[in-house]
Amino acid sequence: MKSNLNSKLTEGASGLVFYSLTPPKITTDPERVIVIANNQMERLQHMPVDGLILYDIQDESTRTEKERTFSFIHTIAPEVYAQQYLGALKVPKIIYKSIANQTQEQFTSWLKENEAIDYAVFVGASSQQQIEATRFSLNDAYAARQQNCERLMLGGVTIPERHSKKGDEHLRIFHKMDKGCRFFVSQCVYNLNDTKNVLSDYYYHATEHGKAMAPIIFTLAPCGSLKTLQFMEWLGIEVPKWLYNDLKHSKDILESSVTTATKIAAEIISYAADKNIPIGFNIESISIKKEEIDAAHVLLQNVIQLVKPVAAPVVVEQVLAQEPEEVAAV
C-alpha cells in the first residue's frame, strides 16, 4: 500500500508542508548526536508535517569565488542519520543525495545499498568543474534510479533565481519530470517576483501543452543576523534590496524575517490558488542557532495555519535546540 505522502505527491496535491534538517557534523560525539536527534524528534512529533527533508551538504567552493560565510565541515550522511537516529519519528523522510564527486559506480552502489529509502531528491553538481571531474551528471543519476529502483519516489531541486537569468527554469522542471521527478523543492525564496515568474511560466506551459503539474515545494527560512543574510547571498539566494535594507535596519531581524517569510507564503498561496498550481512549503533553519531554530518553528506554525487552517493548534515546546550559539555547518 502506498503511503499518504506518496499518494499525495503522485496526485499532484497542493498544500504539503515539509520541515528540513541538516544532520549534525561528522565530528559530533555519537552520544551528543542522540541527544540532538531526540530533541529534534520531540519538537517535530506533534507537528502536522507531511515530510522531513534531510540535507546532504557538500563543499560548494568551486561554485563561486566568494569566500564562504561559514566554514565547511562534513555532516553525517542523511540516510544514515534518518535510519540510525530518527527512526522513532513517524514522518516520511526525504533524503537529499548530492551526486557531486560521485562516479557512476559509486552512485549505483549507493542506490542498491539504500533500497529502503522511500523518498529522495538528487542534487546536481554545483559547478561544471565537478561534473567534468567525475563524468557523472544528474541525468545519469536519474537513469540509474530508473534502472535500479523505480519505486523510489523522486523529487528535484528548482531555483527560481535561475529563471530570472536564463528564463528556462520551468522547462528544466518539465525535463526533470520526464526523468521521473514527481515533486520539486526550491532553494530558499526571499524574492516573490522571481518565484511568481517561474510559477507563471510553469503554469502557462503546462496549460498550453496539456501537461500535469507536479507540486512545487517552496523553501522558507528565518534569518537571524546579517551574517546569515550574507550566507544566504553566498548560497545564491536573491534577497530584494528593499527587504535587505529592512532586515539590516530591523530592531529584531529574526522576527522581521519570520513576518516576511509568512507574507511570502501567503502571497504564493494566493497566486497559486488562482491558477490551481500545486504548491507546498518547506521550512528550514539556515543556521543552527537556538533562536533561529525556534523562529523556524514559529514560521512552520504560521505556514501550517495558512495551508491547513483546520489542523489543531500546537503548543510550542521549549526544548533545547542543537548546539546553541553555534552556526551551521550548512
Site for a second copy contains 199 (CB under 8 A): yes
In angstroms, give the least distance from the CB of 302 to a second copy: 19
CB 14 within 8 A of CB 280: yes
Site for a second copy contains 237 (CB under 8 A): no
CB 99 within 8 A of CB 73: no
Site for a second copy contains 242 (CB under 8 A): yes
Minimum CB distance to a second copy smaller for 179 or for 196: 196
- Residues contacting 304, CB < 8 A, separation 6+: 17, 47, 48, 49, 311, 314
- List C-alpha distances in Å: 297 to 40, 57, 231, 260: 11, 22, 21, 15
List for the chain the helix, strand, coil content (%; round to 5).
Answer: 45, 15, 40
Site for a second copy contains 118 (CB under 8 A): no
Letters for 176-195 (x = contact with a second copy by CB under 8 A, - = none) are: ---------------xxx--
Range 203-240 burial, b when 16+ CB lie within 10 A, else e: beebeeeeeebbbbbbbbbbbbbeebbebbebbebbbe
Task: Number of residues interacting with a second copy: please give it, by CB under 8 A.
Answer: 17
Contact pick of 245, 316, 317, 324 for a second copy (by CB under 8 A): 245
In angstroms, give the least distance from the CB of 38 to a second copy: 42
Site for a second copy contains 250 (CB under 8 A): no
Q: Which of residues 144-173 bind a second copy (CB under 8 A)?
A: 167
- Which amino acid does the sequence have at 278? P
> How far is the C-alpha of 131 from the C-alpha of 22, rounded, in Å?
24
CB 254 within 8 A of CB 291: yes
Contact pick of 84, 200, 259, 305 for a second copy (by CB under 8 A): 200
Site for a second copy contains 83 (CB under 8 A): no
- Which amino acid does the sequence have at 47? M
Q: Please give the grid coordinates belonging to residue 81.
A: 542519520
In angstroms, give the least distance from the CB of 244 to a second copy: 8
Site for a second copy contains 209 (CB under 8 A): no
Site for a second copy contains 266 (CB under 8 A): no
Site for a second copy contains 251 (CB under 8 A): no
Site for a second copy contains 128 (CB under 8 A): no
Q: Which residues bind a second copy (CB under 8 A)?
A: 167, 191-193, 196-197, 199-201, 204, 240-242, 245-246, 249, 271
